[in-house]
């Protein structure tokens, strides 16, 4: 029997995927019209407009299938209110080696974006701080070696 694997994500991450799907659906009629116009030009074997339009439409359909599957297998996690770090929590940590501080939001794998300070829950750092409380010092086992961080504060989204 096949086990179903659910994708953990925040409510915001779920809504972002819904918005992406809606934007792609809005774009679909334009691509279909472009494909029909290119097809009308004749000889399809040497018609670059047709090949390009067909490729773009295939890419859009593929992306829609991927995003639909993300929502189908989504498990929306609302942050805990017990003071422990969970998906959706905003966490300020201090790296004990250089005492720099950073705030991250703990999110699902498909939402992760370090430039936006969105940290995947299953990354080495995300895994180490999950279910911890403010004041805890945790050791992170990363591919380049271990390091320690101190959890300074935890807050929920506004």
Band of residue 6 on the pLDDT scale cut at 50, 70, 90: confident
Please report, for the domain that includes residue 104, its CATH number: 3.10.50.30
Verify that 101 and 53 share a domain, yes or no: no
Please report, for the domain that includes residue 66, its CATH number: 1.10.287.180
**CB count in 10 Å sphere of residue 144:** 6
User: In this predicted model, what pLDDT tens digit does every residue of 102-156 receive, in sequence order?
Assistant: 999 999 988 899 999 999 999 999 999 999 999 999 999 988 889 999 999 999 8
Verify that 48 and 109 share a domain, yes or no: no
In which domain, by residue range, is 29 found?
Answer: 7-76
Look at residue 1 and tell me if it is in a domain.
no
Verify that 63 and 99 share a domain, yes or no: no
What pLDDT is attached to residue 19?
A: 96
Which residues does residue 149 pair with via DSSP β-bridges, in sequence order? 95, 138
Band of residue 158 on the pLDDT scale cut at 50, 70, 90: low
Verify that 47 and 96 share a domain, yes or no: no
Verify that 48 and 95 share a domain, yes or no: no
Look at residue 81 and tell me if it is in a domain.
no
Give backbone dihedrals phi and psi of 2, rounded to 5 degrees, phi first.
-80, 135
What is d(CA 60, CA 62) in angstroms, rounded to the nearest whole number?
5
What pLDDT is attached to residue 43?
A: 66
Q: Give the end of a domain, one of 76, 106, 135.
A: 76
What pLDDT is attached to residue 3?
A: 60
In the predicted structure, residue 1 carries a pLDDT above the cut 60 = no
What is d(CA 21, CA 31) in angstroms, rounded to the nearest whole number?
15
């Amino acid at each position: 029997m096949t086990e179903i694997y659910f994708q953990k994500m925040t409510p915001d991450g779920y809504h972002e995927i819904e918005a992406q799907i809606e934007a792609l659906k809005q774009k679909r009629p334009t691509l279909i019209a472009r494909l029909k116009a290119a097809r009308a030009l004749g000889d399809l074997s040497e018609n670059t407009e047709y090949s390009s339009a067909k490729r773009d439409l295939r890419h859009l359909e593929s992306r829609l299938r991927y995003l639909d599957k993300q929502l189908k297998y989504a498990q929306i996690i609302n942050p805990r209110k017990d003071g422990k770090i969970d998906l959706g929590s905003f966490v300020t940590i201090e790296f004990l080696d250089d005492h720099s501080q950073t705030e991250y939001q703990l999110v699902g794998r498909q939402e992760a974006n370090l430039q936006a300070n969105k940290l995947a829950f299953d990354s080495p750092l995300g895994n180490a701080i999950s279910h911890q409380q403010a004041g805890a010092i945790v050791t992170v086992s990363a591919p380049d070696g271990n390091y320690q961080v101190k959890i300074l504060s935890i807050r929920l989204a506004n």
